[in-house]
Chains A and B, each alone.
Chain A
Amino acid sequence: MSRNSQQWSQKPSLPPTHYADPMIYSDPAIFEEEKEKIFKKVWMLAIHESEVANANDFRTYQHPGGTPLVIVRGEDMKIRTFYNICTHRGNLLVYEPSGNAKKLVCIFHQWAFDAKGNCVDIPRGKAGYQERVSESDVGLKEVRTEVGYGGFVWVNLDDSCGPLSEHIGSSLDYMLPELEAEPLEVLWYYQATLRTNFKLIHDTNSEFYHDYLHYHNRITGMLDSKSGYFQRKYTAFPNGHASVGSMNVSYDAYTGSGHSKLGWPKLPTNGWKLVDLFPCITFNLRTSVLRIDSYIPLGPDHVILEFRILGLKSDTPEIRQQREKDAATIWSPFGRNLHEDLLASSGQGIAMAKGSDPMYVLHAREEDLTIHDEVGMRHYLEEWSKRMGRSSSDPMHQATAPKQQTTVPKPQTKDVAQTV
C-alpha cells in the first residue's frame, strides 16, 4: 500500500538502532561536524608505502579533514607526512600527485624544505627578514604517521591521538597473515568522483544483502550454498570496525570471469576475506588480489573514492599481469561488480539529496549475524553516533541521543570456509 506524507515521514516501528534519519547522508552542517569530530580525529589510510618506495619519493594526499598533505620518504627511509602548505604565503607546496625530489621547493618564492620538514632555504632571507624570521622558525607542520597492516601509510591530523594499533584493535588480525606474508605493491590506483555520501558507499561494503544487485554473481552459482557464502558471519570490533568470515568463491561457476588459479600467500584457494574499518576504509582480499577502498568526502553529497589493487612486490611481470586481469573482470571501471556498486550508491545520492524528502533508511535485517544481517551498518552507525554526539536515527537531538544498543556480536570462532 502506498503511503501519504505523514506515513512516509513516520519513524519505523523498530528500535532506533535499526534505521537512520536520511539527513545524516545529506546535511551540510552534519558533514562539517563529521570533518571536525571524525576525520580530524581518526587514523586514515593515505597511501601504500610502495607509492614512496625510494628515498625522496613524495606523494600527495587530500585529507578528508580538508588539509592537503604530502607524504615523503626521507633518506633515512622513514616516511613522514606534512601539511602540503608552504609556510611563507600558504601556497600549495607540491602540485604533482607524486615524484622524487631532494628538496620540496615552493614555486612561488622558492622556499625549500627537506624530507624532515625543515626549511632549508629562504631566498634572500637575511636581506628581508634580518634576524626576525629564520629557517628554523618556518618548518613544515608534521602530521602523525604510522606504517603498518601490510605496509599502508596511515595519518592522523590529531597530534594527541592514540597509536594506530589502538584504533585498529584486533579487527585486522584475521587478515594479518595474508597482509604480512610478503611485501605488497600497488598495481592500480583508480579514483572515482561521485555525487553521493561517503557513508552510503561504506554501507554497501558493510552489507552483503546487496548481492541481489549483482544478479549475474548469483545466477551463475558463484555464491552457491556450498561456498560458505550464506554461512559467513559478521564480527564487530570496537571503534566501528567489522569483518565477515571467509569463504571460497566458486569462480569456476562464474561464467565469463576468466579468473585464474593464481592465489595469495596464506589465503585458502579461492578464499575471500573482508574487513571494514571506520570511517571509510575497506580491506577486501579475494583469491589473487587485495583491493583497498578509502574515501575522501568533499561534501555531504560529493566524494572521491580511491581504489587500490595490490599484488606482491615479488611478482614476476607475468604474475602481475594475471593479477591485474583477475582484478579487472570484477573491480576495474569496466568490471562487473564495481560499476553495479557505484551505480547503486550514486542512485542513493540522487534519491536522498537534500530537499528530496527521503524516508528513514532501514538497516534492520537480523539473520543470526550471517551474511544478509545488517549488523555491519548498525555497528558502524553506533560508532558514528558516539563520535558525533548525535543519534543516527534522530540527529537533531544531540542531548537526547539514545543509549546505543550493543551490536557487537560474539566473534566467529570457526572459519566457515573450512566447514563446508
Chain B
Amino acid sequence: MNTDRATVEELVYQTCTALDRNDYSEFLGLCDKQFEYKVTAFSPEIRRDMTWLDHNRAEMEELFNTLPKHNSDHAPLTRNAVVYKVSYDKDQKQANVVTALQVFRTNLDGGATKVFAVGKYYDTVSLDSEKPILIKRHVKLDTRDLGWGNHIPF
C-alpha cells in the first residue's frame, strides 16, 4: 500500500484540473470501475440532507456523453481544492480524503469571475495498486443557491 500523501493529493488535484478542462475521459481514467459520485447539501430550511446527484460510473459516463446534446451554460468553472486531511485504512488499503473546494465561474463574455459554490470533497481513494484511484467522491455543498445550475458536476 502506497501511503505517500503527495500522490493522494495529486490525484485530487488532477481530478479538478481534468474537470476544469472538461476532459472527462481523463477524469474517468482517475476513477475506479466501481466509482460512485454524489452531491449533497444540508438544507437549514427543511433541516435535512438533500441529494442532488447520485451516479455510478456508468451513469457518470452517460452524463458526460450526453452533455453535447444539452443546452448548457458554457462559462468555464475553475475548482480550487485544498486537501485538508488524509487518513489511511490499512485493512482496506484505502485513504479517506477531506478537501476544501471552491468553484469559480468565469463569464465567457468579459471574463468576470465570481464564486459559484463552496463545499468539500469527501473522497475514498484506493491505494491497492501502483497509482491511487478514486473509488468514491461525495461533494458536500455549503452553497445551495446555484442560480440557473450547471450540467457539469463539481
Contacts and interface: CB of A to CB of B under 8 A. Distances in A.
A binds B: yes
Interface of A: 50-51, 59, 96-98, 186-194, 213, 215-216, 219, 255-256, 258, 321, 324-325, 328, 332-336, 338-340, 342-344, 346
Given A191-B144, A192-B149, A340 B50 contact: no
Interface stretch (B19-27, B66-74, B126-134): B66-74
A328 B144 contact: no
**What is the interface residue range for chain B against chain A?**
20 to 34
B52 A339 contact: no
Contacts of B55: 258
A334 B151 contact: yes
A333 B52 contact: yes
B51 interface: yes
A70 to B, nearest CB: 13
B153 interface: yes
Contact of A342 (B44, B51, B62, B148): B148
Interface in B117-154: 144-151, 153
A249 B147 CA distance: 27
Given A97-B44, A219-B69, A328-B51, A255 B148 contact: no
Interface string B51-88: 11111000100110110011111000000000000000
A51 B19 CA distance: 36
Given A190-B144, A325-B51, 19 more contacts: A51-B45, A97-B44, A97-B45, A98-B44, A186-B46, A191-B45, A192-B148, A192-B149, A258-B62, A324-B50, A325-B54, A328-B53, A332-B149, A333-B150, A334-B149, A339-B72, A339-B149, A339-B151, A340-B72
A340 B147 contact: no
A183 to B, nearest CB: 15
A46 to B, nearest CB: 12
B39 interface: yes
A188 B50 contact: yes
15 contacts: A51-B45, A98-B46, A192-B145, A192-B148, A256-B62, A321-B51, A328-B52, A328-B54, A332-B39, A332-B149, A334-B39, A334-B52, A334-B53, A334-B153, A338-B149
Contacts of A193: 145, 147
A50 B144 CA distance: 20
A96 B45 CA distance: 8
Given A97-B44, A189-B45, A255-B66, A339 B50 contact: no
Nearest to B152: A334
A275 B43 CA distance: 26
Contacts of A255: 62, 66
B142 to A, nearest CB: 14
Nearest to A342: B148
A189 B153 CA distance: 19
Nearest to B55: A258
Contacts of A188: 43, 46, 50, 52
Given A321-B51, A332-B52, A336-B151, A215 B66 contact: no
A342 B59 CA distance: 24
Contacts of A335: 149
B46 to A, nearest CB: 5
Contact of A213 (B44, B48, B54, B71): B71
B146 A333 contact: yes
B112 to A, nearest CB: 14
A327 to B, nearest CB: 9
A215 B71 contact: yes
Q: 7 tightest CB-CB pairs across the interface, nearest first?
A: A256-B62, A342-B148, A333-B149, A332-B52, A339-B149, A333-B146, A216-B69
Q: Which of B46, B63, B66, B145 has the most CB of A within 10 A?
A: B46
A346 B71 CA distance: 13
Nearest to A216: B69
A256 B147 contact: no
Given A213-B71, A216-B66, A325-B54, A96 B149 contact: no
A189 B49 CA distance: 10
Nearest to A215: B69
A98 B52 CA distance: 21
B46 A189 contact: yes
Contacts of B73: 339, 343
Given A256-B59, A256-B65, A340 B54 contact: no
A324 B44 CA distance: 18
A190 B69 CA distance: 25
B56 to A, nearest CB: 9
Q: Which of A98, A256, A324 has the most CB of B within 10 A?
A: A256
A187 B146 contact: no
Contacts of B48: 187
A342 B44 CA distance: 24
A346 B148 contact: yes
B53 A332 contact: yes
Given A98-B44, A256-B62, A256-B63, A215 B51 contact: no
Nearest to A99: B47
Given A98-B45, A332-B149, A324 B54 contact: yes
A193 B114 CA distance: 15
Nearest to B65: A256
